[in-house]
Structure 1
Amino acid sequence: MLLGPGGSGVSVLAAAAALHDSERPGDRTAHSPVGVQLGTEGGTLLVSLDSRSYLPERLGVMRLPGQPVPVTANVDLLQLDSLEILEAAWRDFTAALTAVGGVKQVLPLVGTLASIAPGELTSMPGAQEFLVLRQIRDAATAGRWQRVVVDLSGVGDPYAVLRSPMVLSAALERLWPRNARLAEASEKPTVAQLSAALEGIDRDCHDLTELLTDPHGVAAHLVVDAGDRGVRAAADHLAIIDLMGIPLRSVLVNAGVGGPGSVDDATAAVVNLLHNDESVTVTAIPRAAKGLDRLSRINRIAVELPKPAGRPRGSGALTVAHVSGEGLDSIFEMTWKQGLPDPNRLELGRSGDELLVTVSGFRYPVTLPSVLRRCVVTGADWHDGTLILRFVPDASVWPQKSGKTGR
């Protein structure tokens, strides 16, 4: 998946990468180089989440949102309209609610929801983005394409989109806790169908969250322009990518957009931000000689995206160490590699089994390992690109050793 600040050329480079990375018919295989089976026929699917994107015109194909359109013998374009997907899902949802007799009396809120027509919807934060991601996942596992290139530009905040399954799952838990809905479903048959539907959505939320941070099947690529704006934005983007545990594989420094600036200087600055991380390649994309307004010109841009490396990054590779003490006197440290452009904007909070971490104005819940769920945070430090959080046991819930008994 390709993402980056608006105006950095993400869409064009995503299209160029899909065209460059597509296989010839005779070379098609059933598995990706890292052994993750994405499809059985081969070929590449280019996905655009922007319903207003000019990609169809630039690639010379019809604009058919929601339907794969052939671009070349080995590349298809799928342009998604998030509002259209939301409306279709809402029709199915309200139809299911209407079909369940008596559920409106049991849960009055259901009747209110069922009365909302699809045409009245404008957006549903979390749900809308979740549905789009689920459709991309379903396309990737349909057995039609070997690889999928996702253009995340044109959606406002791409990280909010990638965070949406976790947000929706948390919202469902707050609105109707899982233990409560399962208990009600067992006692009230009229609720069972609705409970099962929500259970399926929650499973999809967890599945998507795991998929998007899976370093074996997903590779992320950050696109920034070669000007000063791009370098400044790169620091924040890399920090958020670390926080979310997104498996970053490359940074593309695009000299074809942005203001004045040296592409060599920008590339060196990005390498420095990455602390010379050898698992992430930094590539300079030169300015095209002509406008990129047609397929033949986009096809001349040589963009080769590194494959998934199988190594987790950022919070996805966090470690926990018992540094001293025993029992209630124990001290634990949780660490991960974390970019931090502005240490003053680092904030920490706690919600149940999750640590709420805010970096560069972006908040993300990091699930605590089991041993730390009965602990409290006592301090935090950041040193040489590593975030260090210290924990001590919470005396009210920490298991106590039973005393000796006997005569």
Structure 2
Amino acid sequence: MTVEAPRVVLVSGNGGGGRTTLAAATARHAAATGRRTLLLAADDPHRTLDRLLEAELEPAPQELHPGLSVARLDQQSAFRDAAARLLGRAKPLFDLLGVDPLERDELSALPGSAHLALLDALRTYGASGRWDVVVVDAPPVAELLAALALPEQLDRYLGRLVPENRQAARALRPVLAAVAGVPMPADWIFEARGWAAAELAEVRAITGAPGTTVRLVVDAPAGPLAVAALRHARAGLALHGQRVESVLVNRLVPDGATPFLASLHREQRHQLAALRADWDAPVHGVPHAGREPHGYADLAELADGDALTVGAAEAPSAGWVVDDLLDTDERVLVWRIPLPGAQRRDLDLVRRGDDLVLGVGPYRRTLTLPSALRRCSVAGAALREGVLAVRFAPDPQLWPRR
């Protein structure tokens, strides 16, 4: 029986913008509509959610209110569980080397393990079938993208280090054993590779699902630095195929404020209008409550309105289109890669074999070329209206004549 993937909303943004509060309010709003909702604290080191919800969050989900469950990501436990599974798969190697594997209690989370913990939680909760909506109080965009890009990177590394061609390995194993004087690892290496690939595929099925979206939070007033950070975040998310469903401009001074705040109110409204003109995703303003929210009732006030609504999943996109212009004067194939928010000075493009290494500011991704483009050479690239068009000229030695 196939479990339908839930709506996953990754609430991200720079620190101090109120993303933890708005993530909790988003989950509160979704639960109020009758959907089974899980709020996951994935980046809350100071336990802001505990004080906000007036409860002590645990690694195991607990229902605080009807329809609303909460959980805290435990990096140490998640790392130990993942390492224990990996060490169990590597037991034949330890036996071969004559060493004792590490016990679970000896393990301590390594730097970067928070990314693995987040991905494992998304896979676990996304495939459980217990929730209709999963709202994640996610890390800032740079860290979130590092986590979301990890499955694709690891899968690429596995493909290079442990090819799937078992027959060649079986043929070479006796020869290598005779030369080295020690028995060579058997098919468990390839079985472990298949296990790891299956685990990564499960994670990518959640992170790449049409129902998984990113909600960006920026604190008002959104000055030039904040707008530039949003632009970089937008381009980086698009590079990795993540959809920004909305932008929340938090703590807006309400209309009718005192004369002392009237000029700030006008400036914020001007910035809000500028963001709406620049973004193709909805940009919502969230009014300042006049105090720090505290308790479930305050979250209900923030959730009033359409800004925090969790809509239905959109239809899957058609992917990045390859236009065939071979019958025109250009005689090229054009790969169109949507990169809204990107600027020419931020782009870096390198062809390496069958891969295209694309950089947008601080973000990079290695893209496997479609089969038709592997028989071509890069003829140029242009960025227009948020779409990078990479032109490929067919290689006469590899391309059949018409």
Q: Aligning the two structures, in what range does the TM-score lie when normalised by the shorter sequence?
A: 0.7 to 0.9
The answer to whether the 8 A contact 1:23-1:43 is kept is no
| Secondary structure of the structure 2 residue equivalent to 1:230 | helix
Q: 1:82 aligns with which of 71, 75, 78?
A: 75
1:367 matched residue in structure 2? 368
Query: 1:124 and 1:174 mapped to 2: Cα distance?
Result: 24
Query: 1:267 and 1:189 mapped to 2: Cα distance?
Result: 64
Q: 2:319 aligns with which of 293, 317, 320?
A: 317
Give the deviation of 1:142 after TM superposition. Answer: 1.0
In structure 2, relative to structure 1, the CA distance for the partners of 1:2 and 1:112 (3 Å cut) is farther
Aligned residue type for 2:135: V
Aligned residue type for 2:336: T
The answer to whether the 8 A contact 1:350-1:356 is kept is yes
**Residue 56 of structure 2 corresponds to residue 70 of structure 1:** no
In structure 2, relative to structure 1, the CA distance for the partners of 1:113 and 1:135 (3 Å cut) is farther
In structure 2, relative to structure 1, the CA distance for the partners of 1:391 and 1:263 (3 Å cut) is same
In structure 2, relative to structure 1, the CA distance for the partners of 1:197 and 1:299 (3 Å cut) is farther
| Secondary structure of the structure 1 residue equivalent to 2:235 | helix
Pick which of 185-194 and 81-90 moved more.
185-194
Query: 2:124 and 2:358 mapped to 1: Cα distance?
Result: 31
Query: 1:208 and 1:330 mapped to 2: Cα distance?
Result: 39
The answer to whether the 8 A contact 2:89-2:192 is kept is no
Give the deviation of 1:72 after TM superposition. Answer: 0.8
Structure 1 unmatched ranges of 5 or more: 28-41, 403-407
Q: 1:143 aligns with which of 101, 116, 129?
A: 129
| Secondary structure of the structure 1 residue equivalent to 2:197 | helix
Deviations 1:319-340 (A, max 9, x none): 11111359xx941111133224
2:298 matched residue in structure 1? 297
Q: 1:57 aligns with which of 51, 58, 64?
A: 51
Query: 1:136 and 1:181 mapped to 2: Cα distance?
Result: 35
| Secondary structure of the structure 1 residue equivalent to 2:350 | strand
What percentage of aligned pairs have identical amino acids?
Answer: 26
In structure 2, relative to structure 1, the CA distance for the partners of 1:182 and 1:332 (3 Å cut) is same
In structure 2, relative to structure 1, the CA distance for the partners of 1:183 and 1:267 (3 Å cut) is farther
Give the deviation of 1:119 after TM superposition. Answer: 3.9
Aligned residue type for 1:239: A
Give the deviation of 1:263 after TM superposition. Answer: 3.0
In structure 2, relative to structure 1, the CA distance for the partners of 1:395 and 1:88 (3 Å cut) is same
The answer to whether the 8 A contact 1:214-1:247 is kept is no
**Residue 86 of structure 2 corresponds to residue 93 of structure 1:** yes
The answer to whether the 8 A contact 1:11-1:153 is kept is no
In structure 2, relative to structure 1, the CA distance for the partners of 1:367 and 1:8 (3 Å cut) is farther
Pick which of 73-82 and 225-234 moved more.
225-234
* Mapping 1:164-243, distance limit 5 Å: 164-179=150-165, 183-184=169-170, 191-215=186-210, 217-226=211-220, 227-228=222-223, 229-243=225-239
Query: 1:244 and 1:161 mapped to 2: Cα distance?
Result: 11
Deviations 1:272-312 (A, max 9, x none): 332xx3xx211111111221233322221022233322253
Query: 2:36 and 2:71 mapped to 1: Cα distance?
Result: 13
The answer to whether the 8 A contact 1:48-1:151 is kept is yes
Q: How many residues align?
A: 365
Pick which of 166-175 and 13-22 moved more.
166-175
Pick which of 371-380 and 8-17 moved more.
371-380
In structure 2, relative to structure 1, the CA distance for the partners of 1:74 and 1:352 (3 Å cut) is farther
| Secondary structure of the structure 1 residue equivalent to 2:301 | coil
1:4 matched residue in structure 2? 13
| Secondary structure of the structure 2 residue equivalent to 1:50 | coil
The answer to whether the 8 A contact 1:181-1:195 is kept is no
Q: 2:248 aligns with which of 247, 252, 256?
A: 252
1:20 matched residue in structure 2? 29
Q: TM-score scaled by structure 2?
A: 0.80
The answer to whether the 8 A contact 2:14-2:140 is kept is no
In structure 2, relative to structure 1, the CA distance for the partners of 1:115 and 1:376 (3 Å cut) is farther
Query: 1:376 and 1:12 mapped to 2: Cα distance?
Result: 49
* Mapping 1:23-62, distance limit 5 Å: 23=32, 27=34, 42-50=35-43, 52=45, 53-62=47-56
1:34 matched residue in structure 2? none
Q: 2:110 aligns with which of 123, 132, 137?
A: 123
| Secondary structure of the structure 2 residue equivalent to 1:339 | coil
Aligned residue type for 1:62: E
> Aligned Cα RMSD in Å?
3.2
Q: TM-score scaled by structure 1?
A: 0.79
Aligned residue type for 2:314: A
